[in-house]
Amino acid sequence: MKKTVFEGMATALITPITENGIDYDAFARLIDWQIEQGINALVVAGTTGEASTFSDDEHRDAIDFAVKYVNGRVPVIAGTGSNDTNYALDLTRCACESGADAVLVVTPYYNKATQKGLIKMFTTIADASTVPVILYDVPSRTGVSIKPETVAVLAEHPNIVGLKAASGNISEIAKTAHLCGDKIDIYSGNDDQTLPILSLGGKGCISVLSNLLPNEAVGMCEAYFAGDIHKAAQMQLDFLPLIDALFSEVNPIPVKAAMAKMGFCEDYLRLPLTPMEDATRAVLYEEMEKMGIN
């Protein structure tokens, strides 16, 4: 059986950015707070971290900083995917050299690829990586989905250990779980589907919500793993209005606004992303207040 990178909640971390670049002091404070709140793992340079607008140096430096600053306190998973396989290989090698615990590799966007192409690409990256690889399926952003049968083929690779399932298609995720068994760990990539995926044997969630509520999000998984299904389900339902607000505009626009309100960063995004609209911001702040988030 393959080694599990983490169980429970991994925060898909925002990256504090100013007009001058990444704010590493703010990044350090955010990392410390997440760990103090009991988060199970951290994902850096992912979708929520705005890695798509990083320069090459920023991408490498953000991963290297996070790994060294965390210093083994929790697993660090580095986003190293690209639509250019050679660039993904380069980022993956850099993450391995930095000491990341795993890499998260998204399906190729824009050029998309066939299922055969996906198998070849992920296999090439997994062959080159010295750390475990987690596949990232998010067709709403990339235009291509990893089919359950494709995941089953990839799950045979000794270095491909996980799947971040953000398709939203529970039937496909269930089929993936059926085909793969214990050969791959499945993580929810959608906060509103954490409990359904746990019920299918999932190991946890790579979460946007836990930027704001790390302790509570971890508690939901802990309740489920402890057998208190009713408590975990009620927490999932209680979180739904805030989750909806966090996705009322494209991620990470709302979570950046929320974290700025909490004092962790500036409400600054790089184009083509722009700050949250007043109407959706008001709803987000209202839901944060209901959850006791100041």
Nearest C-alpha neighbor of 184 from the set 239, 133, 140? 133
How many other CB atoms are found less than 10 A from the CB of residue 73?
A: 14
> For residues 57 and 171, what is the distance between their CA atoms, to the nearest angstrom?
40
> For residues 108 and 156, what is the distance between their CA atoms, to the nearest angstrom?
21
Q: Which two tokens stand for residue 106?
A: 């998204």
- Contact at 8 Å (CB) between 241 and 287? yes
Q: Which two tokens stand for residue 74?
A: 């929790």
Q: Which residues of 273-294 are buried (b: 16+ CB within 10 A; e: fewer)?
A: beebeeeebebbbebbeeeeee
How many other CB atoms are found less than 10 A from the CB of residue 116?
A: 10
Which amino acid, one-letter code, is at 70? V
**Residues that are catalytic:** 136, 164
Locate tokens 């090698």: which residue? 93
